[in-house]
């Protein structure tokens, strides 16, 4: 079951009902303002600070686009190939931990 954010964190699975692809942040363009993090809905809670980077965990991102208008440098892009491309598993250190901002 991937209904709640806690369910998605535990299963590390995206809600299969979500039709939009998850998003990604291009760190070479990002200015680390955290505006995207503040605009990510808490029930999704997909955007995190990871070291010097700001990252979006694809399984937690519904592709709702709430972060897009908040970004002053337009560095957030669709990430349709997220499963094939992969991403660092260390990104899962924060979701559900004491450092989780959501």
Whole domain around residue 66: which residue ranges?
5-82
Domain total of the chain: 1
Residue 56 lies in a domain: yes
What CATH number is associated with residue 50?
3.30.70.20
The predicted-structure confidence for 33-44, as pLDDT tens digits, reads as follows 999 999 999 999
Q: Report if residue 62 sits inside a domain.
A: yes
Q: CA-based Rg of the chain, rounded to a whole angstrom?
A: 12
54 lies in some domain:
yes
With respect to residue 87, please indicate whether it lies within any of the assigned structural domains: no
Count other C-beta atoms under 10 Å from residue 59's C-beta.
21
Whether residue 13 is contained in a domain is answered as yes
Is position 69 within any domain? yes
- pLDDT value, residue 98: 92
Q: Is residue 58 in some structural domain?
A: yes
Average pLDDT estimate for 15-39: 96
Measured CA to CA, the distance from residue 16 to residue 10 in angstroms comes to: 15
Give pTM, 2 decimals.
0.93
Residue pair 9/1 in contact by the 8 Å Cβ criterion: no
What pLDDT is attached to residue 2?
66
């Amino acid at each position: 079951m991937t209904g709640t954010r806690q369910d998605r964190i535990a299963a590390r699975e995206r809600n299969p009902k979500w039709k939009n692809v998850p998003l990604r942040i291009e760190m070479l363009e990002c200015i680390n303002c955290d505006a995207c993090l503040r605009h990510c809905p808490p029930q999704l809670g997909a955007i995190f600070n990871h070291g010097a980077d700001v990252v979006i965990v694809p399984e937690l991102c519904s592709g709702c686009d709430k972060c897009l208008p908040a970004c002053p440098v337009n560095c957030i892009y669709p990430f349709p190939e997220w499963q094939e491309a992969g991403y660092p598993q260390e990104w899962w250190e924060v979701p559900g931990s004491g450092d989780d901002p959501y």
